[in-house]
Structure 1
Amino acid sequence: MKRKTLNASRLQDEVSRRIHRLHTVVEDGVKIRVPRPQLQEPDKTGCNWTMKHFGNIAGFERDVAAVLDEVQAEYNLSEETTSAAADDPFGDFPGR
């Protein structure tokens, strides 16, 4: 299956949404802090990102790992930042 691509914010939101929708997480009323995805060299499955250091995860490690595996199988992290874009806070403004 070909992976869809999301930027870091949308990928972080997707992982958070799925974690906070889990029955065990909802039932316990816990709020798990989801870190920003980090770009990496593609692994053996082709996934080019990872997440480390979730907050308030005690007791939910397996659930979070399962969600992370699921999302990593569906999405890759877009490589949206280039040095030119990083230098120009307004992006490519037409007419310049």
Structure 2
Amino acid sequence: MIRRTLNASQLQQEVDRRIHRLQEIVEDGVKIRVPRPQLQEADKTGCNWNMTHFGNAVGFERDIEGVLKAVRAEYNLNTEVKDTGNPFGD
């Protein structure tokens, strides 16, 4: 499967969205802090990012790992740098 690419903010939002719609987390009313994805060398599956150090996640590690596994299989972190040009025009 070819992964789509997202920027760091988009990946963070996607992981956050999926975590906070899990039944156990909704039922407990927990707000988990989702960190920014960190670029890494592509692993054996071809994924080039990871997330660590989720906040307020005690007891939900297994659920979070499941979400991460799914999102890492679908998306890669966009590594292209946009050329915004010279804002001063010189």
For normalisation by structure 1, the TM-score amounts to 0.86
Give, as a single letter, the amino acid of the residue that structure 2 aligns with 1:75: Y
- The 5-angstrom pairing of residues 11-90 of structure 1 reads 11-81=11-81, 85=83
Identity %: 68
Aligned length: 89
Alpha-carbon distance in 1 for matches of 2:72, 2:54: 16
Question: How far does residue 80 in structure 1 lie from its aligned partner after superposition?
Answer: 3.1
Give, as a single letter, the amino acid of the residue that structure 2 aligns with 1:92: G
Alpha-carbon distance in 1 for matches of 2:34, 2:75: 16
Task: Extract structure 1 runs of 4+ deviating beyond 4 A.
Answer: none
Instruction: Point out where structure 2 has 5 or more consecutive residues left out of the alignment.
Output: none
Instruction: Point out where structure 1 has 5 or more consecutive residues left out of the alignment.
Output: 86-90
Give, as a single letter, the amino acid of the residue that structure 1 aligns with 2:85: D
